[in-house]
Structure 1
Amino acid sequence: MRTELERDVVQLREELAHAASDLVDLLRDSGDGAGDDQADAGAKTYEREQEISLANNAREMLDQTERALERIADGSYGTCESCGNPIGKMRLQAAPRATLCIPCKTSQERR
């Protein structure tokens, strides 16, 4: 699991760097918008918002992955943060960043 998570960290950092570069390009190219019709302005805004969303998602995944690595290092990986029960091998294989067992996650999502 550690090796997979470490690979994910590298990949997510690359994605963040790429997204940041794309966002800088979008902001630089957008200029003041003079001469753009509404469709052009809307397309640029949509593209910018999408790039920001992708960067935020990658940043969140990176944080979760780094937290999972910390939990491996301190020995708490695989233990539910809510109830203290084991998370379960199948869940960790499907979601290696999981911090809650299935019953606790289900309960959290219902709130």
Structure 2
Amino acid sequence: MTTNGLSVAAAQQIAVALPVLDGEEAWTAEEVIEVRADLIAEIERMRRAVEASDAELEQLMGESSDTSGKDPGDVSSTNFERDQELSMNANTRTLLEQNEAALRRLEAGQFGVCENCGNPIGKARMEVFPKATMCVSCKQRAERR
């Protein structure tokens, strides 16, 4: 039986490989399937958002290239909208890449391993924030820098 392209047996193999913190219960195949489905849904949502943003940017770029005879206020407003859309597009692309990387780590059995210290990130943290790449301690140290 497969769920969203992943068999229960494959999910069980992944679950066994995933680290947990002391005191946490091991991952189950059902939890792996659920996290994977959530990541896939988020990836699809982000891809649609990037496509929509790309279309909006294309339109805004066309508008901003022809400024002859336009009111300076309109040109400024168009430039502001373009810059804002560029920023949102970049942020959406970053989130998409983070979700894709989380899915790859999950499928490789590396999900929940801190990229800094190599210790478990924690199952509870990964269920809430599957894009996490650092344990709480390493993340706090990184944010203080």
Tell me if TM exceeds 0.5.
Answer: yes
**Structure 2 equivalent of residue 43 of structure 1:** 77
Aligned residues: 111
- From 87, 109, 116, the equivalent of 1:53 is 87
User: Percent identity of the aligned residues?
Assistant: 40
Distance 1:37 1:78 in 2: 54
The AA in structure 1 aligned to 2:107 is A
| Structure with the higher fraction of residues in helix conformation | 1
Q: RMSD value over aligned CA atoms?
A: 1.2
TM-score by length of 2: 0.72
Unpaired runs of 5+ in structure 2? 1-34
Q: CA deviation at 1:51?
A: 0.7
**Structure 2 equivalent of residue 34 of structure 1:** 68
Structure showing greater radius of gyration is 2
Distance 2:53 2:91 in 1: 11
Unpaired runs of 5+ in structure 1? none
Q: CA deviation at 1:61?
A: 0.6
Q: Which runs of 4+ in 1 moved over 4 A?
A: none
